[in-house]
Structure 1
């Protein structure tokens, strides 16, 4: 958690003020959402089980919310995702409860999921949870298609070491914060 004197508190406050005042035009939001759907479908196509699970949920709409950002996705008959039509009613709403993007990143580095409020279809929520737990982007495989296997593997190893070091750093800081809170 950021303390009032930490730079993360300042950056979080700055992010809040800028996010409330500066809203991108609707066409920019739409384009970003389309790019996100293309990326998600690319990842889903590498996992046949995920596609089979989405086929069973075809036509269901999931609404994702975080602060002022919302996105509605619908499962297609092909087992992929598409943007839900304007005005579609969500079968499931997932709202990320953590306000600070830094807290979300910190949780992710620790391997934790952010706190999410779930409202709606329980079976659809279970399928979304399965997707989150089991579908991963194979960055190294995609990179190998561009630059070859050996350089992609070297970059992948370097990235794994950096992420491991960040996780250890975040874990060490969280452990120190917990022990200092216990002493108070």
Structure 2
């Protein structure tokens, strides 16, 4: 099976399953009914076309003209929900947008909210108790790993600044910056005095 049809099939099936499981997402889908949005993903250099009807159809090839065209990195998509962000992203060359801005915002909101409820899906296979235990265990492990990573980062910072003295502590950096500012001010005053003396001479 070619790569593009496989990707579009996975994306389409996943989105439609998530929308079926959440009535609120279903209501949002009806607001996009009849619209066509094309998204060019810069990281993959691929274009996906989302056709909205009773469900979402995801196409790799589309001949018609979309109602909205977006070219962006995936990480930018959540930022589209706020109209102020859209202008900034266009100025920063992070987004190329042609068509209806409000349509882009509705699409971004829908994609952001299409998050799988892992516990719900797992409970269909294993039952509620096992699913809850597995998800809770995964959250605890994730929290523990994050905590350990923060500890290691803090320890490394202390070793670098205090024991090995490779980098100066933050207070020393602040003090140095203050001294530089003071010196710059003094140099400016001396330069002005010299210019006055030269004008008199």
TM-score range, shorter chain: 0.5 to 0.7
| Correspondence 1:48-87 to 2 at 5 A | 48-67=23-42, 68-76=45-53, 78=54, 80-84=55-59, 86-87=62-63
Cα shift at 1:65: 2.1
The answer to whether structure 1 residue 91 and structure 2 residue 91 are counterparts is no
Gaps in structure 1 of 5+ consecutive residues:
1-24, 99-103
Q: 77, 92, 95: which one pairs with 1:117? A: 95
3-state SS, counterpart of residue 83 of structure 1:
strand
Q: Distance in 2 between matches of 1:31 and 1:37?
A: 10
3-state SS, counterpart of residue 45 of structure 1:
helix
The residue aligned with 1:147 is 126
CA contact (8 A) 1:92 1:118 kept: no
CA contact (8 A) 1:63 1:93 kept: yes
Number of matched pairs: 139
The answer to whether structure 1 residue 135 and structure 2 residue 111 are counterparts is no
Q: Distance in 2 between matches of 1:63 and 1:167?
A: 37
Offset from partner CA, 1:70-115 (integer Å, 9 cap, x none): 2111111x2x2012462132222233337xxxxx5xx9xxxx8697
Cα shift at 1:153: 1.0
Cα shift at 1:118: 5.4
Q: Distance in 2 between matches of 1:166 and 1:93?
A: 40
Give the number of the structure whose residues are more often helix, by fraction.
Answer: 2
Which of these two proteins has the greater Rg computed from alpha carbons?
2
Change (3 A) 1:149 1:34: same
CA contact (8 A) 1:62 1:74 kept: yes
Q: Over aligned residue pairs, what C-alpha RMSD do you find?
A: 3.4
The residue aligned with 2:161 is none
Q: Distance in 2 between matches of 1:124 and 1:167?
A: 37
